[in-house]
Structure 1
Amino acid sequence: MSGSDTKPGFLISLVSGGCAGMSVDLALFPLDTVKTRLQSTDGFLRSGGFRGIYSGLLPVLLGSAPTAGVFFCAYELSKELGAGYISNSYMPFVHMGAASVGETAACLVRNPVEVIKQRAQTSRHRSSIAILGSTIRTEGFRGLYRGYLSLLLREIPFSFIQFPIWEFFKRIWCDRQGCAVSAWQSAMCGATAGGISAAITTPLDVAKTRIMLAKQGSKTAGGNIIYVIGDIWQTNGIKGLFAGVVPRVMWITFGGAIFFGAYEKVKIILISTKGRNL
């Protein structure tokens, strides 16, 4: 039995998830910047175009590992608990529930990172440290959690779709070859699942970006995602709701391959190392 079939413990999930999150954010940060600028109300060119493509990298570096680590700890624990009460035919619902629990926990870490990162990506002259200080001075610590609900409403449906598809593709591949999937096979499953999920949830991502970038006190900054989606629809139509869909799908497809591949690879290494030390 390979490491992919073995239930990881808390520490293994934390380290594996942290490595996966850091790997994907470092590799694909420029695509995320392009996507954010395309979704900004100021438009791509006025938000910076291709200049300063790594603006906002610092908060991502500080937050990516703990965010992904927290997610996978909550996901694996919830999946293990659910599997003890649910038959195999209903496992997709367990994966959906586990992904939702994981995202709720991870967004507590991710939201402040997203706020500072996206403001840095659309600001030509301010550093991430300056933006952090300005946000706390003008909005308090609550400002770091602006858009938390919209972030949850984007991430939970995304993971609700992505993780059952990822687990399903892995199970099919495993059944056909008669053994557990390897890290690269898990990466391919993750890339496909990520691309599908990214395309479907792009309107939620656009709304989240608009809320986080909106001027304090504006109706958009209030965080009513239904209002924001409706406003985008009235102003820009379907094109506005799917602004940045190409870089988002590219980013998450490539990111899914790196994220799930790195997670499985590190998990397998850690489990095998732990086994040799027993």
Structure 2
Amino acid sequence: MWRCQIKGKGKCLTSTQLLFHCISPFIETPGEGNHDSRRESEEIDMEGQTTRKRQLASDLFSGFVSGVCCKIVEHPFDTIKVLMQVNGNEVYRNSFDCLKKTVRAHGIRGLYRGIQFPLVGSVAENGLTFVSYGFFKRLVGVTSPDRMTFSQMLLSSMGSGMTISFLLTPVELLKCRLQIEQSCKATTKSTTFGVIRHAVQKDGILSLFRGLSMTLLREIPGTSIWFMTYEMCLKPFIRHGYTRSTIPMSGIISAGSISGFLYWVIIYPIDTMKSIIQTDEHYAAQVSGKGMQRYSMMSKYIAKTIGRIGIKGLYGGLSFTILRAVPANAVLFLSYEYASRFYAHFF
């Protein structure tokens, strides 16, 4: 091993010591390097958490706003839809005859019968819909809404549909029963909480979730169609240089209208069966048992109902529902997008 002397120092060093002396300025000590990298990692994590919290708050706020706007527009149409689904041609000639008779008998207020609980439910539903959609988008690796693959859209929307089914089932059960009650000849009308109390006392707390399987069957494919149609309709704007925050109002209205139209045209027969199941006082007696026995009896009930009302009966009230779906979904997505822009600007 050779030795050398550092000028001015009068000290001899081995070759190994000399090599270390030369490269030491470029070597970080282990403690310093780990500390810096850990600090950078923590800063990135904190920034990511802040972004996720902001997105969650934005989805929740925008979902609440869109829920209120949408429900005010759609509830009168929804009342006619349910009356036609349950009573059908036995009482009304068509949807417009149903509208005329309902307004004549109960006034405009009759069209908003039972809106209290659905209004609260709509706020919660839309908040949960967009929050869960955002959650599943992040779960499948979506980093920007402007760049989503088909599979990411499908999985995210299916997850959202499954999630909201558990909220929608009791909300729609109460809404349907209140809407149907006004077409009966009973002199006393129930309140929302009266319907809840009656259902729980008669069949237990789980009776509020009657029709859950039909709601899942409706919402998982239905929400997928709904979100994916909307996203695909916005794709041309993205390709022409727009971002989600700059897409014009006309584009949002068109995309929302088309998505609402396709949603109801495709899943309407399932929704009709759900409404019948939720308003049939004798359903619990006809469909009992557990496991496969219950599903076998449910299948027989559905087949019997279709035999009674016919395939045409499954589409009772569809025309009015389409008239509702187009403006309601246009308002829903428009209010959501502009509420999101408002939140991003002021918060």
TM-score category of the 2 structures, normalised to the smaller one: 0.7 to 0.9
Equivalent residue for 2:5?
Answer: none
Cα distance in 2, alignment partners of residues 130 and 44 from structure 1: 28
Name the CA shift for 1:229/1:93 in 2 (closer, same or farther; >3 Å).
Answer: farther
Q: Deviation at 1:103?
A: 2.1
Name the CA shift for 1:167/1:41 in 2 (closer, same or farther; >3 Å).
Answer: same
Equivalent residue for 2:137?
Answer: 79
Equivalent residue for 1:3?
Answer: none
Name the CA shift for 1:227/1:253 in 2 (closer, same or farther; >3 Å).
Answer: farther
Conserved 8 A contact 1:184-1:261: no
Q: 1:29 aligns with which of 67, 75, 79?
A: 75
Equivalent residue for 2:19?
Answer: none
Equivalent residue for 2:252?
Answer: 186
Name the CA shift for 1:225/1:208 in 2 (closer, same or farther; >3 Å).
Answer: farther
Cα distance in 2, alignment partners of residues 28 and 73 from structure 1: 22
Q: Deviation at 1:226?
A: 4.3
Q: 1:122 aligns with which of 173, 180, 189?
A: 180
Give yes or no for the alignment of 1:236 onto 2:303: no
The AA in structure 2 aligned to 1:163 is F
SS where residue 243 of structure 1 aligns?
Answer: coil
What pairs up with 1:88-107 in 2 under 5 angstroms? 91-107=149-165
Name the CA shift for 1:241/1:33 in 2 (closer, same or farther; >3 Å).
Answer: same
SS where residue 249 of structure 1 aligns?
Answer: helix
Cα distance in 2, alignment partners of residues 93 and 201 from structure 1: 21
What pairs up with 1:1-150 in 2 under 5 angstroms? 9-41=55-87, 45=91, 49-50=101-102, 51=106, 52-84=110-142, 91-124=149-182, 125-150=189-214
Give yes or no for the alignment of 1:270 onto 2:338: no
Conserved 8 A contact 2:142-2:152: no
Cα distance in 2, alignment partners of residues 83 and 91 from structure 1: 10
Residues 83-127 of structure 1 show CA distances to partners (whole Å, capped at 9, x for unaligned) of 349xx9972222222112112222222221111111000002222
Identity, % of aligned positions: 22
Residues 33-75 of structure 1 show CA distances to partners (whole Å, capped at 9, x for unaligned) of 0000101157674899513221111111222111111111110
Cα distance in 1, alignment partners of residues 212 and 76 from structure 2: 23
TM-score normalised to the size of structure 1?
0.86
Name the CA shift for 1:182/1:57 in 2 (closer, same or farther; >3 Å).
Answer: same
Q: Deviation at 1:219?
A: 2.7
Name the CA shift for 1:72/1:225 in 2 (closer, same or farther; >3 Å).
Answer: farther
Conserved 8 A contact 1:34-1:44: no
Name the CA shift for 1:139/1:167 in 2 (closer, same or farther; >3 Å).
Answer: same
The AA in structure 2 aligned to 1:260 is F
The AA in structure 2 aligned to 1:74 is S
Residues 110-159 of structure 1 show CA distances to partners (whole Å, capped at 9, x for unaligned) of 22111111100000222222111111211221111111111111111211
Q: Deviation at 1:256?
A: 1.0
Relative contact order, higher structure (CA 8 A, sep 6+): 1
Cα distance in 1, alignment partners of residues 321 and 298 from structure 2: 19
Name the CA shift for 1:71/1:90 in 2 (closer, same or farther; >3 Å).
Answer: closer
The AA in structure 2 aligned to 1:244 is G
- Greater shift after overlay, 72-81 or 181-190? 181-190
- Greater shift after overlay, 218-227 or 154-163? 218-227
Cα distance in 1, alignment partners of residues 201 and 308 from structure 2: 32
SS where residue 165 of structure 2 aligns?
Answer: helix
- Greater shift after overlay, 35-44 or 206-215? 35-44
Aligned length: 266
Conserved 8 A contact 1:63-1:113: yes
The AA in structure 2 aligned to 1:34 is I
TM-score normalised to the size of structure 2?
0.70
The AA in structure 2 aligned to 1:199 is V
SS where residue 149 of structure 2 aligns?
Answer: helix
Cα distance in 2, alignment partners of residues 226 and 127 from structure 1: 32
Unaligned runs of 5+ in 1: 1-5
Q: Deviation at 1:215?
A: 1.3
Q: Deviation at 1:251?
A: 1.6
Cα distance in 2, alignment partners of residues 60 and 150 from structure 1: 19
